[in-house]
Amino acid sequence: MYIYNVTVKVDHPIAREWMQWLKTEHIPEVIGTGCFCNATILELVENVDKEGASFAVQYKTANLEDYKHYITEFAPSLQQKGLDKWGERFIAFRTLMKIVD
């Protein structure tokens, strides 16, 4: 099992609206690709940044091929949709992790 982790810092003024968009539009689109079985949203509670709220979204997939398919076929357009909507009011970085236990 693999976790595609997307960590995001969102400007405080848009954090609530961004979270609504994440839950109602973005995550359903990512899950709708068929590459991931579920998503979990987490909020950073230590070392809170005064400039923005920090979250992580963890998407689970059973195999590396589905992840690679997502990255090549779907990620560019979905990431661009976020940039088009929110501009520079957020920053994201992405990591792939493998569950070992």
CA–CA dist 17, 33 (Å, integer): 24
Task: Write the DSSP string, the chain.
Answer: -EEEEEEEEEEGGGHHHHHHHIIIIIHHHHHHTTS-SEEEEEE--SS--TTEEEEEEEEEES-HHHHHHHHHHTHHHHHHHHHHHHTTSEEEEEEEEE---
**Is residue 61's pLDDT more than 90?**
yes
Residue whose token pair is 């970085």: 93
The domain total for the chain is: 1
CA distance 25 to 18: 10
And the tokens for 3? 């976790």
The CATH number that applies at residue 43 is 3.30.70.100
| Residue 95, pLDDT score | 98
Least confident of 7-11, 33-37, 40-44, 49-53: 49-53
Its pTM stands at 0.92
The residue range of the domain holding 77 is: 2-98
